[in-house]
Structure 1
Amino acid sequence: MELGDIPKYFAGKTILVTGATGFLGKVFLEKILRVQPNIKKLYLLVRSSNTHLATQRLHFEVFKKDLFRLQRDEKGENFGTFISEKVVVVVGDVSLEMLGVKDAKMREDMLKEINIIVHSAATTRFDERFDIAMATNTMGAFNVLSFAKNCLKLEILLHVSTAYVYGQMKGLISEKPFFMGQTLKGSSTLDIELEKKLIENKLSELEAQKADEQTIDMVMKKFGIVRANLHGWPNTYAFTKAMGEMLVANMKDLPLIIIRPTVVTSTHFEPFPGWVDDVRALNFIIDGYGKGIIRSFVGVPETVLDIIPVDMVVNSMIVAMVARSKNLCTNLIYNISSSLRNPINFSDVLDNTYCYFTKNPWINKNGKPVLIAKKMALFSTSMDEFDPNKGSKMESAIELFRPYTIFEGIFDDQNVENLRMVAKRAIDEGFDFDPRNINWKNYLMNVYIPGVMKYSMRSKM
């Protein structure tokens, strides 16, 4: 069977989105509002002290962004009215029970009305404080699920995870769920309640020592890495996202989808090519190289960098929800990736980056072009090869990036391929999520790197 009209499914639907101020959340909102302006309502959960500040945050961090340029141009002075009619700002926090929604009337309305939940809220810092990452990435997933169980009209819950929940696994990485207590080291067993208790104990110790906030930050960051490494994960982010998945995947009787994107980059085509939000992940390396700050980095030239444009991730999310609602694809997990179908290695990315910046140098604050003389050098062994970076923030970044720039895994996406098979018409009608349709040289030279230059390096949002 073939999927029908994708936008039609969302007409009259009420959707709850967590993480609406994040990169993926913004692009999801833009797409839904553009292709189906007749959705009934968007509940957007925002961390804030009050509704006024939450509304301001959404205005400046989401709807005022260049991402919404096409819709602002199309609707003109009616854009603000359109947003206010569709969007309900919800002050809350995924780390709290019932998502921290204190307004009883609003909570009651949400539970009665919500048809779809898209849970994309997360802290994506690799070395986040263990207590913060656990509260957001692990218990946040549990709290969203608990809320979803009470939604009377729920049709779909989509949980955004990461393809790197399987750490530094080599070879073909399948789309299979974790079982509760699973670790990446066969000899150990993971107890989420114990991890929470260890966090409480560590914070109590620090409080008893009257540690200042800077010390608490440092200790809790290191503690997260230690606990992650103990169970086989390279960092706190992947560890806490994996635990969140365990809680989600083991929840029965919910219409559930888990998507695992790889390294999410700028838009490919929609709403226009090259929009990107912040200097993280691969953007960080390109930004630093173009500014002449990063001349060498950790990595292996042959490493397949699994990058995927953000609009393809959003399209896969939307199509998966419709396919699940029609029982055309009932898989639980989808690796949204490019490494199997259209791989590109680290060396090719750096070749294109060098080529781009030699032709289009970054102009510094003094109005002078930063001339790039060499392709970035890659090293894979000791920190001694990074002498200019010893003892700096760059040394920390290099160690955090190492698991991904020397990665030896390839992500199987058979479930996503099945989805593409039933969504051929949808792909042709503006919901493309097939990485084989990416010409990497064109994307890097004419879309992605210019996007980083425009939106991140020049800080023009």
Structure 2
Amino acid sequence: MELGSALQFLDNKSILVTGAAGFLAKIFVEKILRVQPNVKKLYLLLRATDHKSAMHRLHSEIIGKDLFRVLKEKCGKNFGSFISEKITLVPGDISHEDLGIKDSNLVQEILNEVDVVVNLAATTNFDERYDVSLGLNTFGAQFVADFAKKCVKLKVLVHVSTAYVSGERTGLILENPYSMGETLNGVSGLDINVEKEIIEQKLNELRVEGASDKEITRAMKDLGIQRARFYGWPNTYVFTKAMGEMLVGEFKGSLPIVIVRPTIITSTFKQPFPGWAEGVRTIDSLAIGYAKGKLSFFLGDMDSVVDLIPADMVVNAMIVAMIAHASNQPSETIYQVGSSMRNPVKYCDLQDFGYRYFSKKPWINKDGKPVIVGRIRVMDSMASFHRYIALRYLLPLKGLEFANTAFCHFFQGVYCNLTRKINFVTRMVDIYRPYLFFGGIFDDINTEKLRMAAKSSLEENDMFYFDPKCIDWNDYFMNIHIPGIVKYIFK
């Protein structure tokens, strides 16, 4: 696998990026513009009704972010004109055919000009409405593949999925594709079109019953979890992403396809600068809850490996894979991008990093007082977790509720604070339970081959680093990641 020069490959190329306002997509766009200003065009597909609203999203959600400060410094006063020259906004929606692009001239331009399609559009909410998640993560993936097949100059389609399409598998999890209708628990009968019909039938029933928007949303969320668990997946997100992979594989035709499966994505390791983060991501929601005093007990196996990978490494792997598979040869290659094989970190390490950091630099609450943190008490089973909650919190809460009523709501503040703490922890456990005892290690033999190819034949190997072995997790968490989420995410 000879890679040559990444910058030469990107020179004068046109790339369509879907989901362009997403976390990874922004980092991808910034990287391309910063390292190869001679890229011809980036077509950024944004969910928007028209060009004006797409332009607003570009400025408020993408180039207006601190992520772009290095590029702004590099361009100086020419930043605005550079962006105007290199970026074409595409209002659309991948859950529709032709990606929901209404401008027929723009559609034709993209089909004639695009060399690479990168699909980053997704909803990552674990308990998203099933209709929304199926539309974006599943059928959206098919619509992107269908669109890519019509691009006359296309060299490769990069589809970004998640390593957790594996569900709750244990042991070594291989970089294998999903066949159509495959399930995790062996239950037969998974038909993606039938899943769509089930949704439509349920929505019709709810409308006939006169259900409110809130009731419909709740029913759609419940349906997604129910259907996911019926076939062996823990939540709607990973279920619909797995079905998306199935459709991409089924309808790829003669396309060269790369499927990238990142694990838990964290803040940037090096570029454009260390520690940039956005949105409350998986482990960060726990860190925020802990720092703010909402998390004093939790559930999980402290010796289990948590597979983390910085966002810039994922983007670099995407770019190198894109270069490696840019051809006219039909193919489908899967790259699992994570750290559990090469440089594992355990949950107990994360707990220790959080305790040490917030003990030295406590969060200052809205009253101007530092929040004192302690070691989290961690239960090793659901039974012990529920028993602990009942004895430590639910019984005192009942007594407090009675006292609060008897003493004219004198204890209202304490009562509400305790209730919020219980609700927060139980919600976190419900959402993340499958990953708190995760027993899988993600094989990355394809990714390692890609790393070796980059090391031996990519001229700019240092610019497109994605080897997790180089990460000192203690240094990364204490000096990069936690300071980053405190700066960009804590509110």
TM-score by length of 1: 0.96
C-alpha separation between the residues in 1 aligned to 2:377 and 2:332?
41
Deviations 1:275-325 (A, max 9, x none): 000112111111111111112222110110000000000000000011112
User: Structure 1: how far apart are the matches of 2:134 and 2:184?
Assistant: 18
Confirm or deny: 8 A CA contact 2:141 2:248 kept in the other structure. yes
Asked if 1:438 corresponds to 2:467, the answer is no
Does the 8 A contact of 2:293 with 2:373 survive in 1?
yes
Paired position in structure 1 for 2:63: 63
Could you give the per-residue CA deviations for residues 249-276 of structure 1, whole angstroms, max 9, x where no partner exists? 1222101100000000000011110000
Query: Is 1:399–2:430 an aligned residue pair?
Result: yes
What secondary structure does 2:463 align onto?
Answer: coil
Counting only pairs closer than 5 Å after superposition, residues 310-349 of structure 1 correspond to structure 2 as 310-325=311-326, 332-349=333-350
CA distance in 1, matches of 2:440, 2:9: 36
- Aligned partner of 1:81 in structure 2 is 81
The residue aligned with 2:191 is: 191
Distance in structure 1 (CA, Å) of the matches to 2:328 and 2:339: 25
Query: Which range moves more in the overlay, 2-11 or 333-342?
Result: 2-11
Structure of larger gyration radius: 2
More moved, 372-381 vs 435-444: 372-381
* Aligned residue type for 2:151: C
CA RMSD of superposed structures (Å)? 1.7
Q: Which runs of 5+ in 1 are unaligned?
A: none
Tell me what 1:369 maps to: 370
Change (3 A) 1:247 1:361: same
AA partner of residue 279 (structure 1): V
Alignment of 1:91-110 (within 5 A): 91-110=91-110
Q: Which residue of 2 aligns with 1:356?
A: 357
Contact 1:296/1:379 (8 A) holds in 2: no
State how far apart, in whole Å, the 2-side matches of 1:116 and 1:134 are: 25
Aligned twin of 1:414: 445
Q: Percent identity?
A: 50
**Matched residue, 1:429:** 462
Match of 2:170 in 1: 170
Contact 2:145 2:248 in 1 (8 A): yes
**CA 1:448–1:58: 2 relative to 1, 3 Å:** same
C-alpha deviation, 1:374, in angstroms: 2.4
CA contact (8 A) 1:323 1:329 kept: no
Structure 1 stretch displaced more, 389-398 or 230-239: 389-398
Q: How many residues align?
A: 458
Give the corresponding residue for 2:119.
119
Equivalent position of 2:249 in the other structure = 249
2:278 matched residue in structure 1: 277
Moved more, 44-53 or 120-129: 44-53
Given candidates 454, 457, 460, the residue that maps to 2:487 is 454
Deviation digits for residues 330-362 of structure 1, max 9, x if unmatched? 661000010011111100111011001101111
Q: CA, structure 1 residues 375+328, in 2 after alignment: closer, same or farther (shift >3 Å)? A: farther
Which residue of structure 2 aligns with residue 292 of structure 1? Answer: 293
Q: TM (normalized to structure 2)? A: 0.90
Once the two structures are superposed, what CA deviation does each residue of 1:19-71 show, in whole Å capped at 9, x if it has no partner? Answer: 11111101101111111111111111111121111111111111010101111
CA contact (8 A) 1:380 1:406 kept: no
- CA shift at 1:5, angstroms? 1.4
CA shift, 1:2, in A, is 4.2
C-alpha contact 1:160 1:260 (8 A) present in aligned 2: yes
CA contact (8 A) 2:46 2:89 kept: yes
Q: How far has the Cα of 1:3 moved from its partner?
A: 2.3
Work out whether residues 320 and 329 of structure 1, in 8 Å CA contact, stay in contact via their aligned partners in 2.
no
Distance 1:327 1:437, change over 3 A: farther
